Chain A
């Protein structure tokens, strides 16, 4: 009895790990490739008291993607669909941010914070719009968010009033790069803070349970007293906040608001990050850790392909081949097959070991 309980516990633990197996193994593979290319991959350089190097660059470059893929994970898990207008939504929120910051006169920390809060409100409005369409009118998420995907950049351009207004002041420069005296680039810190907030929220509330139950079976969730509409609506609100934060970081990084190219096609990478993280795109159980690792993996993949000096024309083909191999390795069929093989090996070994003590309990599984 006790043995089987331990076995079950171990199995649950292994199951949890196996969700993270795919993203982690890819990460390790990429690191190995990079180390083969050059052994100095992990080397840091200190420039004016700030860390630079390959790893800080990846953390720096992936910050928006990480934040957006967190929101995408929640939306995917609850609504069983993807938000494809996130880049455009972030463009709108950052346009509002830039508009407020430029029109507020003197740029102080207060105006930046106020502008950020205003852009968060705009993000919430976008979330309300998408969430209403998806949860109340039951439009498919991908179709509902297609509206903003098509129209978002024009709206951002109208808010800007001109092509790429420049955000030239000390504070936004510090947010985009480094604060003097802090050895880590600011976007990395902001990302870590955001991840911490999400982790705390998920730990202290029942949000994870609610979202998963809605994603697995909305009707069953409704019968158990969870309103699926509210939960789906809520995930889109969270997505709105995520886009606001991502747009804030992106525009401060760039130093100007390019409404045409800001975060262009980032929804592809975000959805990919969710999938690499071991999440089902058809909703249900989710792992935000996996998505975060997936997002960093994608950034790392991009930078690895650049580091390997592959021509820019073929870089996308290589990326595609890598993704295909990745998904084949992580596909359910291959996983089940591998599990069977491992199980057979293990039971064979167990049988020989257990023959002396308990010959009965070997045939299970």
Chain B
């Protein structure tokens, strides 16, 4: 029904605002429904934080895709790229010269390389984004299976420590059945998400991208997506 209103020219809300409103309402409604049906778990703060703990990669990729879509493009290869990045980093970590910082650099490198390829082809050669990123999807999938066919476990101690590292929030938490106070925990990925969201909001406030809109397709802003994608690497589920 609400989307019906969106088509009428007289509505005050702009289309994107309306969609945002719908999404927010749906989120709140679903959360309330979950609280009603599972009051034991969804009333805890930890469950709310787990949304961010588990979905940090998704949020970061959404931010990257957001930039691309504002300038009128699309990137369908981010999932495959993310897979390639995780596999490459996992293999680097498992090898003898593996280090966390090396893996981070490798992740950024792969992401930026894909971004440069896509960005150049789309912005300067004016090829349709869908097709180029489709090719990028195939490329990333092909490279992934070329690197390694089976899932691998990363056993490097420093990485495992980073993966299991959690930040506790001492003043928030719940009492368990025995009456012991359990504080909430967040993963470092959430910090990355928050930093990126703030950066992104600042970028949007400066109105560079949204004001210029389609003109910006001629700029290397396309290169931003995958680099945003790859910062999430240490927390990506593929490595587990």
Contacts and interface: CB of A to CB of B under 8 A. Distances in A.
* A and B physically associate: yes
Interface of A: 82, 136-139, 142, 268, 271-272, 275, 280-282, 311-321, 323-324, 327-328, 331-334
Given A137-B3, A328-B121, A333-B124, A82 B130 contact: yes
Given A137-B3, A138-B6, A327-B121, A316 B141 contact: yes
Closest 7 A/B residue pairs (Cβ): A317-B142, A316-B142, A320-B139, A320-B138, A313-B145, A323-B135, A331-B125
A331 B99 CA distance: 41
A314 B139 CA distance: 9
A321 B3 contact: no
Given A271-B134, A319-B142, A327-B121, A281 B3 contact: no
B24 interface: no
B92 to A, nearest CB: 19
B25 to A, nearest CB: 18
Contacts of B121: 324, 327-328, 331
Interface in B115-143: 117, 121, 124-128, 130-132, 134-139, 141-143
A327 B146 contact: no
A320 B130 contact: no
Given A138-B6, A323-B138, A331-B126, A317 B146 contact: yes
Contact of B126 (A82, A142, A320, A333): A333
Nearest to A281: B128
A281 B130 contact: yes
Contacts of B145: 312-314, 316
A321 B149 contact: no
Given A138-B6, A316-B141, A317-B142, A333 B134 contact: no
Contact of B134 (A138, A272, A311, A312): A272
B14 interface: no
Contacts of B137: 268, 320
Contacts of B138: 316-317, 319-320, 323
28 contacts: A137-B4, A268-B137, A271-B130, A272-B131, A272-B134, A275-B130, A281-B130, A312-B145, A314-B142, A314-B145, A314-B146, A316-B141, A320-B135, A320-B142, A321-B139, A323-B138, A324-B139, A327-B127, A327-B132, A328-B121, A331-B121, A331-B125, A331-B127, A332-B125, A332-B126, A332-B127, A333-B124, A334-B125
Could you say which of B4, B7, B135, B143 has the most chain A C-beta atoms within 10 Å of its C-beta?
A: B135
B96 to A, nearest CB: 24
Contact of A138 (B7, B117, B143): B7
Nearest to A324: B135
Query: At the interface, is chain B mostly helix, strand, loop or mixed?
Result: helix
Could you say which of B4, B117, B127, B146 has the most chain A C-beta atoms within 10 Å of its C-beta?
A: B127
B131 A271 contact: yes
Nearest to A271: B130
Nearest to A81: B130
Given A320-B135, A334-B125, A313 B142 contact: yes
A320 B133 CA distance: 10
Contact of B127 (A312, A315, A328): A328
Contacts of A319: 138, 142
Contacts of A314: 142, 145-146
Contacts of B128: 275, 280-282, 327
Nearest to A327: B127
Contacts of A139: 3
A26 to B, nearest CB: 14
A316 B77 CA distance: 13
A83 to B, nearest CB: 13
Interface string B197-240: 00000000000000000000000000000000000000000000
A210 B128 CA distance: 24
Contacts of B139: 316-317, 320-321, 324
B146 A281 contact: no
A314 B138 CA distance: 10
A315 B145 CA distance: 9
Interface in B37-84: 74
A25 to B, nearest CB: 16
Interface string B104-120: 00000000000001000
A327 B142 contact: no
Could you say which of A311, A313, A320, A334 has the most chain B C-beta atoms within 10 Å of its C-beta?
A: A320
B142 A323 contact: no
A321 B143 CA distance: 11
Given A142-B74, A317-B143, A320-B137, 9 more contacts: A138-B3, A139-B3, A275-B131, A281-B130, A317-B141, A320-B138, A331-B121, A331-B127, A332-B125
